[in-house]
Amino acid sequence: MSLIVMKFGGSSVGTTERMGRVAQRIIEKKLQGDRVVVVVSAMGDTTDDLIDKANEINDNPPSREMDMLLTTGEQISVALLSMAIHKLGHEAKSYTGWQAGIVTEDVHAKARISDISPDRVFAALNQGSIVIVAGFQGMTESGEITTLGRGGSDTTAVALAAAIKADVCEIYTDVDGIYSTDPRIVKCARKLNVISYDEMLELAHLGAAVLHPRAVEYAKHNKVNLVVRSSFTHNEGTLVREDAEMEQGVVVRGIAFDKNVARISVLGVEDLPGVLAKMFGALANQGIDVDIIVQSGVLDGKADFSFTVSLADRGRAIDVLAGIKNEVPYRETTYEEGLVKVSIVGAGMVSNPGVAAKMFEAISNVGVSIKLVSTSEIKVSCVISAEPVHDVVRALHTAYGLDTAETAFVGGPQDRR
């Protein structure tokens, strides 16, 4: 008998009919003899509809009141899911975040969970009930209703799993696991059976819609076993856990790529103390995330910088740079779009020399030139032109031996969207 947390996202419960299928899925687990705690998001477009309504009334609503408003979305979900389970003849009880004992910092819109007192969850489990908890929400010590921000329901599930010492936290989604790369592009992309927290974080772009990085970090910190699996099939899914065992010869676990990249270069920057801090501080203040940063050598007291930002931030980034030209004198800015960042990820990389060299070689063999490079202990990223990216990903998939199925291939590209 296991203690299991099952988390279902908004699209899994988007209609009353889907709600019924999820109820069935939960009951199957219960009938296996497991004790089950379910975390649910708001149904389909509920949250967006509520935000639209708020904006009709106030284009800048107080975040306290937004939290009051948005938390109703998950409360509706848990009540309806409980009704669906009752309809199928099983006992279930729904709880809001605060009823489940989820205490957060005194911050609205993006509170962090500070404590969980799962007394009522255990009491209901001990009565043989399925427990359904509203994701994304909690309460401050002083009784204010809060939300956890993006990825909130994943975080609720992981935090609850840690608090009740669940054997596993299953994240149900519309894909059946984490893949070695995007199966729409590489036909023989393999579903990974197991992956480490760190690798999962680096592969976020392959799993961003599936599993929020914040929840992965929480799971890593609290050693919660996470499983990503499909709510439509019974395939096994991908287990995310600490120190995933090294599989024979597996150095690179997966290949991620991000098509949403722009390069900005700032040329002829005067090499004064603090110019870098000023430049990137100004960008951060405008909420612009800078990814890879490269500085070429200083010549005649002038340096050239290049960095990448998401495509959507490109215009704003250049405006910010123009606005600080007095403080950070430079000659000119240039930019380049139509780029992609390809990354190889694997915890085994650190102890295997030559992994990066093999990447550069594979890319060069496809006749593609590398514009920027960035490395970490478990990742190498290269920025290249967008248009040959599929060839590059396929070449890397082959070069690192990922085409060889480690297990029977289950699920196909049609499951992924």
Residue in 54, 103, 185, 324 binding a copy of itself, rule: CB under 8 A: 54
Task: Examine residue 71 and tell whether it contacts a copy of itself (CB under 8 A).
Answer: yes
Q: State the nearest-atom distance from the C-beta of 153 to a copy of itself, in Å.
A: 17
Find the part of the chain contacting a copy of itself (CB under 8 A) among 26-34, 75-83, 291-299, 401-409: 75-83
Q: Output the furthest CA–CA distance in the chain (Å, rounded).
A: 79
The answer to the question of residue 21 lying near a copy of itself (CB under 8 A) is: no
Q: Where are the alpha helices (DSSP H) in 272-342?
A: 275-285, 314-323
Nearer to a copy of itself, 54 or 293 (CB): 54
- Judged by CB under 8 A, the residue of 29, 110, 112, 120 near a copy of itself is 120
Answer for which of 50, 282, 293, 311 binds a copy of itself (CB under 8 A) is 50
**Residue 141 — φ and ψ, nearest 5°?**
-55, -35
At 140, which helix (H) or strand (E)?
A: none
Is 19 among the residues that bind a copy of itself (CB under 8 A)?
yes
CB atoms within 10 A of CB 57: 8
Interface with a copy of itself in residues 308-367 (CB under 8 A): none
Q: Which stretch binds a copy of itself (CB under 8 A): 50-58, 109-117, 274-282, 360-368?
A: 50-58
Q: Residue 55, Cβ neighbours under 10 Å: how many?
A: 11
Residue number with CB closer to a copy of itself (62 or 412): 62
Which of 24, 48, 64, 351 binds a copy of itself (CB under 8 A)? It is 64
DSSP of 172-214: EESSSS-BSS-TTT-TT--B-SEEEHHHHHHTHHHHTTTS-HH
Long-range contacts of 402-406 (CB under 8 A, 24+ apart): 402/180, 402/181, 402/189, 402/190, 402/252, 402/254, 402/255, 403/188, 405/188, 405/190, 406/190, 406/193, 406/247, 406/250
**Helix (H), strand (E) at residue 310:** strand 302-310
| DSSP letter, residue 14 | S
Q: What is the closest distance, in whole angstroms, from the C-beta atom of residue 179 to a copy of itself in the complex?
A: 34
Catalog residues that contact a copy of itself under the rule CB under 8 A: 16, 19-20, 50, 53-54, 56-58, 61-62, 64-66, 68-69, 71-72, 75-76, 78-80, 82-84, 86-87, 93-94, 96, 99, 120, 143, 145
